[in-house]
Structure 1
Amino acid sequence: MNNLSSRLMKRFNHLLGEIDAVYHEMDWKLGLSDSAMAVLYTICDNGGCCLLQDICRLSGLSKQTVNSALRRLEADGILYLEAAGSKAKKVRLTESGKLFADQTAGQIIKAEDEIFDSWPQEDVNKYLELTEAFLTAIKQKAENLVPNEYRKGFDKDS
Structure 2
Amino acid sequence: MEKKNIEKRLSEYNGIIKENDELYRGVAKAFGLPDCAFWILYALRESGKTLTQSEICYAMYQPKQTVNSSLKKLEREGCIVLTEMRDRRSKEVHLTEKGVKLAEMTVDHVISAERIALAGLTDEEHDTFMKLFRRYTGLLKDSIGDLLEKQEEK
Q: Which letter maps to 2:151?
A: P
**Aligned residue for 2:38?**
37
Amino acid at match of 2:15: H
What percent identity do the matched residue pairs reach? 27
The correspondence of residues 48-67 of structure 1 with structure 2, limited to 5 A, is 48-67=49-68
Deviates further, 28-37 or 93-102? 93-102
Moved more, 131-140 or 55-64: 131-140
Return the offset for 1:48. 4.2
Larger deviation, residues 37-46 vs 83-92: 83-92
TM-score, normalised by the number of residues in structure 2: 0.90
CA displacement 1:24-46 (0-9 Å, x = unmatched): 11000111011111111111111
Letter aligned with residue 122 of structure 1: E
Q: CA deviation at 1:85?
A: 2.8
Q: Distance in 2 between matches of 1:70 and 1:34?
A: 12
| Cα separation, 2, equivalents of 1:136 and 1:80 | 37
Structure 2 CA distance for aligned equivalents of residues 144 and 107 of structure 1: 40
Paired residue type of 1:147: Q
Shift >6 Å, 4+ stretches: none
| Number of residue equivalences | 150
Equivalent runs, 1:1-158 vs 2, <5 Å: 2-86=3-87, 87-145=89-147, 146-147=150-151
Considering fraction of residues, name the structure with more helix.
2
User: 1:84: Cα distance to partner?
Assistant: 2.4
Flag structure 1 segments of 5+ consecutive residues without an equivalent.
151-158
Q: Give the AA of the match of 2:83.
A: E
1:32 alignment partner, SS class? coil
